[in-house]
Amino acid sequence: MTDMPHTDSATDRPTGLGGIPADWSSDQTAFKNVSWGKAMMWIFLLSDTFVFGSFLIGYMTVRMSTVVPWPNPSEVFALHIGGTEFPLLLIAIMTFVLISSSGTMAMAVNFAYRRNRKATAMLMLATAALGAAFVGMQVFEWSKLISEGARPWANPWGASQFGSAFFMITGFHGTHVTIGVIFLVIVVRKVLRGDYDNETPGFFTSRKGRYECVEIMGLYWHFVDLVWVFIFAFFYLW
C-alpha cells in the first residue's frame, strides 16, 4: 500500500515531494484575487524590463567593443561653477531627487489605504513635483551637451556611439518619468474629488473604497526609479 502525501491542514495542500505539482500550478489561485489593473501593470513592467535591459546590454556591448577611447563621464557631465569643476554634480542631484520621490510615493500609497485623501494627494503632488524637477534637470543636461557638440551620431570627446547611447537611454527613461508625472496629476485630481470613495465612473476609477490606482501608480514609479539606479551605475559611473 502506497503512502498518501501529507497535507497541510491549514491549506489542504500536499507537502514534501507530493507538493511540487501543487506549487507549480499555484498560479491558478495566486492571481485569483489580484485586480486586473494591478496584474496588467506587472505584465507591462516585466516587458519594460526587457526593453531597458536590452538597451543597457547594447550599451555595454558597444562600450566594450569600440576601439575608440570612450568619453570620461566625470568630465563630460561635470558642472563648472565659479571656475571650479564639479564632476557628476548634476547627476548626483538628479539621482537624489528621483530616489526621494520614491519615498513620497510609498507614503502616498500608505495614506491612500488609510483613506486619508488629503495626505495622499499632497504626497502624490510632491512626487509629481520631484519627477518634474528631474525631467527639468535632464532637459538642462541635454541642452548643455548639445551646445557642446554632442549628437546621436557624433561627439567631441571620443567614440561616436556615446551620443546615440546617451540620448536613447536617458531619453527613453525621461519619457517614462514624464508620462508618470502626467498620470500622477490625473490620479491626484480623482483622489481629491473622492472618486475612489464614491465609485464615480470614469478613467482610472477603482472599485468603491479601494485605492488600487494609487498603488498601481506606485508600482510604476518605483520601477522608473529602480531603472534609473541601473542607468546611473552603468552609464555615469562606469
- Per-residue pLDDT tens over the stretch 124-134: 999 999 999 99
111 sits in which H/E element: helix 89-113
Share of the chain above pLDDT 90, in %: 53
Can you give the residue ranges of every domain in the chain? 1-33, 36-236
pLDDT of residue 194: 81
Evaluate if residue 17 carries a pLDDT over 80.
no
Amino acid at 236: Y
Alpha-carbon torsion angle 77, 79, 83, 85, nearest 10: -50
State the cell numbers at 183: 498620470
36-236 belongs to CATH 1.20.120.80 = yes
Judge contact between 6 and 187, C-beta under 8 A.
no
**Residue of 80, 102, 180 lying closest to 135 (CA atoms):** 180
**Residue of 85, 57, 223, 62 lying closest to 215 (CA atoms):** 223
Q: What is the pLDDT of residues 177-197, one digit of tens each?
A: 999 999 999 999 988 888 777
**Residue of 5, 48, 27, 4 lying closest to 220 (CA atoms):** 48
Instruction: Compute the mean pLDDT over every residue in the chain, rounded to the nearest whole number.
Output: 85
pLDDT band with cut points at 50, 70 and 90 for residue 237: confident
Judge contact between 131 and 98, C-beta under 8 A.
yes
pLDDT band with cut points at 50, 70 and 90 for residue 9: very low
Q: Phi and psi for 152 in degrees, rounded to 5?
A: -60, -20
Q: What is the pLDDT of residues 68-91, one digit of tens each?
A: 899 988 889 988 887 788 888 999
Evaluate if residue 26 carries a pLDDT over 90.
no
- The model carries a pTM of 0.82
